[in-house]
Amino acid sequence: MSLLEIDHISKRFGGLLAVNDVTFDVGDGEIVSMIGPNGAGKTTAFNCITGLYPVTSGDVRFDGVSIVGLPPHRITALGITRTFQNIRLFSFMTAVDNVMVGEHSRMHAKVWDAILRTPKARREERAVEGHALTILSGLGLERYADMYARNLPYGFQRRLEIARALASGPRLLLLDEPAAGLNPQEKNELMGVISHLRDEGLTIFLIEHDMRVVMEISDRIVVLDYGEKIAEGSPAEVRNNPRVIEAYLGSGATTQMHTARSTPLRPANPADDEGERPA
C-alpha cells in the first residue's frame, strides 16, 4: 500500500503555476526519486508535502489521512521529516543539540517541567540526549557531537541534517538534493546510508540531480518539468523515455540518445552536479 499519496496537487504563486496537477504515490518501504531540470517545481512539491506551502488545489494523504492544511510541526509529528537543499541546520547549536531539537515532537516535558527542571524532565533530557548520541554514532558523527553545526565539514553537515530528521522517528524521509556538493566518495557513503535506512523500514523520497545516485538507488523515479509530471517509472524506463530526454537535452536529442545508449543522462546544468562547496 502506498504511504504517501499525492493527488492532483497544484501550487500557484501569482501568475506562476509552479506545480501543475501532479499525481503520484510513494509506496511503503520504497526509495522514490524526483528529478527534473532546474525550476521544474521539485522543491515546491516538497514544501507542499511538508506543509511549508499550502497547496492551491489537490490533496496529500499520508498513510491514508489527508495532511493538507496541517502546520509543518504536525506533519513532522505524524512521521514525515525532511532535509533542505541549502543546508538549514541550527548553526550555533552543537550537533547533538541539533538532533535533540529534532526529537522535540517526541518529548513530553511541559512548560512547568522546563521551568522547574522536574525529575521527569531531567530523565527525559537524559534519555533524549542518549538517543541523539545513538543517532549521531549511527551516521558516524559521534566525534562532532559537541561542535557547533556550522563548524562541521560540509559533507558532515549534510549528514547531520539527516540525523536531525531521523530524530523525530519518521516513517517517511524527504531528502532535498542530499548529494549536492558531495565528492564521489561521500556520494557512495550517502547511498550506503540511504539503503541502510530503507532496510531499517524507512520510506525515502528524494530530489536529486546526480543521475548516478538516482539510477543506482531508486526503485522508482518521478520526473517533473515545468511543474508537470512528464514521466514515472523504473530507472530503466525513465532513462529511455523520450520526453525526459527532451526535457533535459532539448528536442532533437532523442534520436541521438537512442543511437548512443550508453551515454549517461546528465542534468541540464552541470554545475549543479558538482555543487560548489560553501567556504
Partner 1 sequence: MLETPVSPIPADSVDLPATAGQTREVESSAIFWLLAVGGLLLVAMGWFLPWFVEPTANGIGFSPQDVVSSSPTGVGTVLVYVMGAAMLALLAGLVVDAVAVYGHRGRALRYEGARAVLALTGVVCTLAIWVLIGLSHEEPLFGALSASAQTDNAVWMTLTGFAICAFAYGLRPWIIRHTSVSLAGVAFIVGGLVPYIFNQSSDFISWAAGSLAIYTLLGLGLNVVVGFAGLLDLGYAAFFAIGAYTAGSLFGSRHGVHEIPFWVIIFLGAAVAALFGAILGAPTLRLRGDYLAIVTLGFGEIIPDAANNNLFSQTGGPNGISGIDRPGFGHFDFGTDYRYYFWALLILISLVIICMRNLERSRLGRAWVAIREDEVAASATGINTVSGKLLAFAIGASVSGFAGAFYGAELGIVTPEDFRFAVSVTALTIVVLGGIGNITGVAVGAMIVTFLIFWVLPHMTEWSTTVGHTTGITQLSTVPYEQYSFVVYGVMLILIMLLRPAGLLPSRARKVELQTGMESESLAAVRGTV
For partner 1, which stretch binds (CB under 8 A), given 27-35, 151-159, 205-213, 233-241? Answer: 151-159
For the chain, list the strands marked E by DSSP.
2-13, 16-27, 31-35, 57-62, 65-66, 80-82, 172-176, 203-207, 220-225, 228-233
Q: How far is CA 278 from CA 46, 86, 89, 150, 262, in A?
A: 23, 10, 14, 11, 33
The residue (of 57 and 263) whose beta carbon lies closer to partner 1 is 57
- Cα gap 21→236, rounded to integer Å: 25
Alpha-carbon distance of 253 to 241, in angstroms, equals: 12
Q: Which three cell numbers stand for residue 270?
A: 552541470
The distance of closest approach from Cβ of residue 230 to partner 1 in the complex, given in angstroms and rounded to an integer, is: 26
Residue 82: CB minimum distance to partner 1, A = 6
Instruction: Give the nearer residue to partner 1 in terms of CB position, either 95 or 257.
Output: 95
107 interacts with partner 1 by CB under 8 A? yes
Radius of gyration of the chain measured on its C-alpha atoms: 20
DSSP string, 4-26: EEEEEEEEEETTEEEEEEEEEEE
Give 194 or 211: the residue with its C-beta nearer to partner 1.
Answer: 194
Tell whether residue 184 is a contact of partner 1 (CB under 8 A): no
Cell numbers for 3 = 504511504
Q: Considering the rule CB under 8 A, would residue 250 count as an interface residue with partner 1? A: no
Q: Binders of partner 1 among 220-249, rule CB under 8 A?
A: none
- Tell me how many residues contact partner 1 (CB under 8 A): 60
**What part of residues 82-101 is at the interface with partner 1 (CB under 8 A)?**
82, 84, 88-93, 97, 100-101
Interface with partner 1 (CB under 8 A), residue from 7, 59, 63, 77: 77
Is residue 153 part of the contact set for partner 1 (CB under 8 A)? yes
Q: Of 10, 33, 43, 105, which lies in the binding site for partner 1, with binding defined by CB under 8 A?
A: 105
Distance CA 35, CA 189 (A): 21
- Residue 228 to residues 11, 39, 53, 87: CA-CA distances in angstroms? 11, 11, 18, 26
Torsion of CA 251, 253, 258, 263, to 10 degrees: -140
Q: Is 130 in the site for partner 1 (CB under 8 A)?
A: no
Residue 164 contacts partner 1 per CB under 8 A: yes
Question: Given the rule CB under 8 A, which residues bind partner 1?
Answer: 13, 50, 52-54, 71-73, 76-77, 81-82, 84, 88-93, 97, 100-102, 104-107, 109, 111, 113-117, 121, 124-125, 137-144, 146-148, 150-151, 153, 156, 159, 164-165, 168, 185, 189, 192-193
